[in-house]
Structure 1
Amino acid sequence: MAKGTKAAIRAVQQKGIKGLAWVSFGIAVVGGTLCPEMFIGRFIQGFLHLWPWEWIPPVLLAGMVVAVFVDVFIDLVPNQWAIWSALTTPTLAASVEAKLGDTVSGWCRSLLDLIDGWLAEWITDSGTGLAIGCIAAALIMARRVVKKSKAGGVA
């Protein structure tokens, strides 16, 4: 294969990997947004509320927001830190003891109820299943994208 052809194929693969990374990030945002009002989010919130310090959820929330921006800023591709941040940020925000926690929980509950209504009409009555599927898909895609991007020289 000619040198130019290999370079063209590698360029297309790198663009495809970037596209998959952004799709994975979008799926993680959906799964993470639905998570605070499910058993997974409630478990994490309960664990965070076991500690006697109320500052832990806001500090973790700030750290995850910074992690998203740093991860994306480095190479304009959301890698694993951005995916984990997208999955956990809504649950951490719902864990905050002030108005932020109540507001995020209310929004996530409304979104989950809305999706449950749509799914009941079209497929099934489980927004929880959709959320778990989104979380799993985002993690699997992120793992594959990071492996491919390291092999291709993107990351």
Structure 2
Amino acid sequence: MEPENAMQPVATVTGLYRGKFSGLEPLTPDKPLTPEEVRRNPIFYELALHPKQGDENLIIDVIYDNLAPIRLRDLYRGTDIPRNVQFWPDWFDIPPYQEMRDIDGRRVYPRAPGKHTVQIRTGRRKWAQMGRVRDFSPENGGYTSPVFEVLIAQGVAADD
């Protein structure tokens, strides 16, 4: 039965959200982020944890606008993710640079108005490989989310 569990993702991403005064709101291309939201607020993503692998520690990377993956902090079960909680929201910041280079060397502008893409990959944290190359393979419970589109508006005021 262990090989069956090993082939299933340890965690999948179920959505992206913006933080508002009223709580979390789904982040969709038809509701753009304002430049102020990009500057001050993180984007939340929601994880659905595999029920039979709920005690696993997680590694998470964010791929923003086809840039090199950004390593997020490891999530430790029982410390960072409470036990017996299946869905867990965490967050990441849009890269704080006005200009960067993507993995092909092209110039990109992560905070510029317009459409941007986000992918999140998850996997099981291996104790023997701490600080080394991270394993997002299916054998390690790895998963890569579909591409989420995020829109940044040009100079629009926040509505909250």
The TM-score, its normalising length taken from structure 1, stands at 0.25
Structure scoring higher RCO (CA < 8 A, sep ≥ 6) equals: 1
Pair member with larger Rg: 1
| Higher share in strand | 2
